[in-house]
């Protein structure tokens, strides 16, 4: 506490704010494919979504812009960084979960590929996608890279990633069990906001939102 009896600025104001963004709509979105580590392009709508998110984030005092190295996430990061004179810091650790042998398949193909073993998808904490990852593998890939950002950055930063990657970060930072993995929606081009305060306090300020909502946030 300060001498005036009011919370000190260090406690009451975020030390770090992370804008966690999902990439825009992909060109094969209507086919419901498991893209995973495949480097698919954005649709025209997806490109427009990323341009809009970049225009909103460019109004923020961002200190750094991070991204998955896959184009669909990297694109929005590049547009944002260009507007702010920053360089995108890409990291494959932020890729979507690895669907392994199922990557590129739509759900009908997935069911055929699994041939009666579809129950494997009901427990992805223990069961891996054939030739790919389970949620523990995914967690062990994503979270060390994310927590390095949280430990070294101050002020405001943006991370452009994927639906699964965003969920992993949100659940781990909020202490939500992986058995709830699909309970948070992550729409194309959505923005989430996590604030980090002193005393290791983390607060989710925005979830699965339109980038226009960022106009309501005072700078950190």
Question: Are 194 and 201 spatial neighbours (Cβ–Cβ below 8 Å)?
Answer: no
Tokens of 172: 């781990």
- Convert the pLDDT of each residue in 159-190 to its tens digit: 999 999 999 999 999 999 999 998 999 999 99
Listing DSSP states for 86-111 in one string gives: --EEE-GGGSPP--GGGTT-BHHHHH
- Per-residue DSSP letter, 214: G
CATH number for 84: 3.40.50.1240
The predicted pLDDT at position 113 comes to 84
Tokens of 21: 């963004």
As a whole number of angstroms, the distance between CA 59 and CA 157 comes to 12
Tokens of 77: 């990061």
2 is a domain residue: no
Task: Provide, for the chain, the percentages of residues in helix, strand and coil under a 3-state DSSP scheme, each rounded to the nearest 5.
Answer: 40, 20, 40
Number of domains in the chain: 1
Residue whose token pair is 């979960």: 97
Residue whose token pair is 């970049």: 54
3 is a domain residue: no
Residue whose token pair is 């920053």: 86
H-helix or E-strand spanning residue 194:
strand 191-197
- Convert the pLDDT of each residue in 100-157 to its tens digit: 999 999 988 998 888 766 667 778 898 999 999 999 999 999 999 999 999 999 999 9
The predicted pLDDT at position 1 comes to 40
Residue whose token pair is 């494919």: 33
Residue 71: give the domain boundaries.
15-216
Average pLDDT over residues 13-35: 96
The predicted pLDDT at position 155 comes to 98
Percent of the chain beyond pLDDT 90?
84
- Convert the pLDDT of each residue in 46-100 to its tens digit: 999 999 999 999 999 999 999 999 999 999 999 999 999 999 999 999 999 999 9
Instruction: Identify the band that residue 10 occupies on the pLDDT scale cut at 50, 70 and 90.
Output: low
Question: Are 195 and 205 spatial neighbours (Cβ–Cβ below 8 Å)?
Answer: yes
Residue count of the chain, please give it.
Answer: 220
As a whole number of angstroms, the distance between CA 113 and CA 16 comes to 44
As a whole number of angstroms, the distance between CA 171 and CA 173 comes to 6
Tokens of 22: 């999902």
4 is a domain residue: no
9 is a domain residue: no
Residue by residue, what is the 3-state secondary structure of 159-171?
A: EEECHHHHHHHHH
102 is a domain residue: yes
Residue closest to 162 by CA, chosen among 35, 58, 16 = 35
Listing DSSP states for 27-51 in one string gives: TTGGGTB--TTS-PPBPHHHHHHHH
| pLDDT at residue 2 tops 60 | no
Average pLDDT over residues 6-22: 81
165 is a domain residue: yes
């Amino acid at each position: 506490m300060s001498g005036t009896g009011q919370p000190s600025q260090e406690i009451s104001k975020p030390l770090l704010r992370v804008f966690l963004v999902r990439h825009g709509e992909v060109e094969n979105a209507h086919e419901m494919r498991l893209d995973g580590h495949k480097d698919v392009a954005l649709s025209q709508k997806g490109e427009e979504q990323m341009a809009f998110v970049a225009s909103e984030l460019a109004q923020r005092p961002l200190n750094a812009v991070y991204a998955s190295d896959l184009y669909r996430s990297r694109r929005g990061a590049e547009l944002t960084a260009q507007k702010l004179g920053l360089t995108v810091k890409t990291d494959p650790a932020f890729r979507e979960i690895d669907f392994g042998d199922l990557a590129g398949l739509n759900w009908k193909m997935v069911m055929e590929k699994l041939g009666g073993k579809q129950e494997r998808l009901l427990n992805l904490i223990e069961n891996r996608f054939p030739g790919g990852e389970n949620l523990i593998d995914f967690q062990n890939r994503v979270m060390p890279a994310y927590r390095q950002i949280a430990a070294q950055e101050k002020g405001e930063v943006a991370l452009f990633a994927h639906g699964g990657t965003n969920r992993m970060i949100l659940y781990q930072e909020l202490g939500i069990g992986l058995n709830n993995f699909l309970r948070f929606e992550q729409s194309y081009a959505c923005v989430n906001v996590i604030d980090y305060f002193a005393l290791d306090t983390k607060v989710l300020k925005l979830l699965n939102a339109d980038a226009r909502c960022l106009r309501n946030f005072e700078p950190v």
